[in-house]
Every structure is written in C-alpha cells, then in structure tokens.
Amino acid sequence: MGNSLQDQFLKTGLVDKQQANKAKKNVRKKSKQQRNSKEKIVDENKLRVQEAQAKKTARDRELNRQQKSQAEQRAIAAQVKQLIEMNRLPRDKAEVPYNFTEETRIKKIYVTDTQHGQLSRGLLAIVRLGETYELVPAVVAEKIRLRDEVSIILINESQKSSEEDDLYADYKVPDDLMW
C-alpha cells in the first residue's frame, strides 16, 4: 500500500531505475533551492526592514535635535525679553536726542540729560525689544549679551579717566555739542 507513484512506474516498466533516481535528485534539488530562496528572501526582507528602521531612527533623531534647538532658542528669547522688560529705564520725560548706529543706519532715541551722560560713560546700554529700543543698565546688557548678542545695539566702553591720562582736561567742551 505505501507505494509511491515512482514505484508504480518502475513496476509497470515506464521508467527504469536510473531515471527514477535522477527524478528523485531533481526533486530534492528543487526543494532545497526553494528553501534557500525562501531564506534569502526572508533575509533580504529583514535587511530592508532593518535599513528602513535605521533611516527612520536617524530621521527621528534629527527632528528631535531640531525641535530641541528651537525650544532652546525660544527659551533664550524669552529670557532676553524678560531681562529687558524688568530692567528697562523709563523715558517718559525724555527730550534729548541720542544718535546711534544700527548696522549701517543712524537711529535716534530720546533720553533724559542724566541718561545721555550715562550712555556716554557706558553705564547704560541700548537694546532692541521687538521693533523698539530700550535703555537698560550695562550690567544687565552684559547678561543679555551672554544669551543673545543681536539684541545689544550699543554699549559704550566705560571710561575711567584720571586727571593724568586726560590730555584734553584743560580744554572746555561746549555745552551745545552733542552726538
């Protein structure tokens, strides 16, 4: 009863022993090739999946890095804005124009007499807050500079002049001379 089709062909004489063995070899070869090709296909698919996952991971890392840097920039901008708003000096009764340069343009801001002198001596600084300009103490301006240099428009170097170093101490500066 356990006769295979090949055994039946041998009994009837349709094929001889050599042909039957050759057919067995071909069947074994084909099944082995199919198994190997399936393994190769599975391996190739695994490689494609791994490559896709690696690309997705790299893309996700880059997006996370960009989002993190944008969040840091927003935090720095908020810190700068808070520093300026908390430390800006009032210019309600400002009548004296003070000229300064921003990039290649000459701008004008109105300040009081005392603020004008403090700006000239480097005790005050001009900073940008949005589209407006504000006066802040030089110490605060240095803190702002550490976070964002673009916000600082003008900080004059503080001049600690002594009587010995001042070569023009004998010359009087006219009161109406302003820059």
DSSP letters, 10-58, are HHHTSS-HHHHHHHHHHHHHHHHHHHHHHHHHHHHHHHHHHHHHHHHHH
Spatial separation of the C-alpha atoms in residues 101 and 92, rounded to whole Å: 23
| pLDDT average, residue stretch 82-107 | 89
The pLDDT, as a whole number, for residue 1 is 47
Average pLDDT score, the chain: 83
The pLDDT, as a whole number, for residue 91 is 85
Q: Which residue has the higher pLDDT, 25 or 142?
A: 142
| pLDDT average, residue stretch 47-75 | 93
User: Is pTM, for the whole model, over 0.85?
Assistant: no
Strand boundaries in 38-170, DSSP class E: 96-102, 105-111, 124-129, 132-137, 152-155
Dihedral class, residue 51 (left if φ above 0, else alpha if ψ from -120 to 50, else beta): alpha
Q: Does residue 37 have a pLDDT over 80? A: no
| pLDDT average, residue stretch 57-76 | 94
The pLDDT, as a whole number, for residue 65 is 95
pLDDT digits (tens, 9 = 90+) for 95-111: 899 998 888 899 999 99
Q: Does residue 177 have a pLDDT over 80? A: no
Percent of the chain topping pLDDT 90: 33
The pLDDT, as a whole number, for residue 126 is 92
